[in-house]
Chains A and B, each alone.
Chain A
């Protein structure tokens, strides 16, 4: 890869591995090579993986930036802005960059998996015009559902399988994705549904706080949810004349809030780029992503739903 020209395009590659051996056989040289070539390297994996990698790579500690995927990527809607920051830091210095990111792991909920796949697809949009950046996304073939693995082929232009050969993915769907398409499952159980046009913003905050308390959500998560819903409803006030619906409910794992209005989000990267690079509205969605454990946005000409989850 070091032989590629200065203007090589963004390389986004899925890497399917069966066991730790394969994982390290591929990732360790990938990191060491990058460091040896003077590239900036960032690795976003779970803590255990990071600890193992640190002991295996020959690069000195300071050469590689390690980040905990459980922190950055618990909500996959946060991951792109971490990569954008990394790219911004290094691109101006003219450095080439490489990264490893494993957003999908065994144990992710169905809703999370759905958002992870949308995230993987959006990486192609976000870095479409970023040359000199290679991002490798490991997928654990021994643990993940075949459908998830098939998804990797659709969201990555390249796939690396056994033997370390990198191939163009035959199923790659390209960077023209609409991350807001489709609909979300209907809320289940007891759902509180409220007409936003009848509620003041401070009333909304108190209702959300009460709902979170009733569900035994911890204080930190409660205040995060209140701030997040406040941002979503602020967008409803700005773009949908305050007309919309607030839905509050819970399932076994989470407290969930929907803000539904007739706004329409056009920018596929809305909420994913760092606050400093976006306007007022982008900042609201971006904050919602930073504060919530999972965010699902669906938007069309007729309506937008922002669904915010906080784990119990």
Chain B
């Protein structure tokens, strides 16, 4: 393989490419779905393919195919070069890449049990057991879906700077959703987990424990009241603060979106959060769903501090955007280079060989603080405690929205009655400024992020107290 990739790279360099990179991938995966006690789908997938990306005359060209042979790949390189040259005539900005030391490495996934070595029957049993336990948990639970998936991906990466990396990645994910009905009240909830540690994550999550979390969430929702709309003090639990950190702030810290005009572009080296807030995007977190060793440009991953004690100290970069920001900042505000990072951070990721890498988050969280969780609740007369999220979305202007599936009132410093159909929204930077205390606890969960292509990420953090958060809901 290495000889073939080198030959292809050399061909590209001889034919007007200034930079060539090739990714060859093989993926094996199993997906299982059960609904209402019936096993509906057991799906095995074995996919392979390759892509070439070239830089010619300052523009990218990208071609992908699932036929891996020399002639087809030579055609792909020719095609990519011709597209790059076509693009170079109309792009406004020439692409430059930040220098990185080319790596040679072979990386095996650090796992205890390879899911591809686990019999499908065993996976099916797990899915069915959870599904049936859910339906039997409470007679008011009328419907339940359970889904399992595993993926093993082996990628060979080579570029014309001399990088040659083979990396294996293994993902295991499991989730369920269920509906409970009592009279006119309908409640629905979901729960999931995922890891890069292998099938061991399944063995660690006993069906009865998993079902208890989801089942009790539904029971609470059935008796929950609707929240008051308006601004209230709030304690945001690890999973919701994780969603917020990822959706509301994380995307704004992606260099391509900042470059596009996200509000963060005006905040380089400036205060964006209260002094106690440090935000990290970490590709090294053990077992994290967003953990890997090299990104899809062959750059080593790292633990990137994005906000340090309230100050924006780095964006998340690929090689192109690191070079672009270095040039801009050198030219316009060189003193900022002392406080603001412009080196590649290893955030270039592609969903698979069919996509060019773009800037993506990894495991994103607010660093734990100094307080016991109980201390955070003290002296809140009335507020809300947000525990489990549904999903969220942010806009470049800094507005965000998040949906919540498990939340409680806080009354006189104590967790009170459950509330349902809560959502929260606001301006990201204003909200980060209102963080007044951070717990010393920490929890992080698996998630999937969409940005035209999907990426596995970790979202989490500690408990956080916000002076004031805008809550909606109640219909």
Chains A and B bind each other: no
Interface residues of B (CB under 8 A from A): none
Interface residues of A (CB under 8 A from B): none
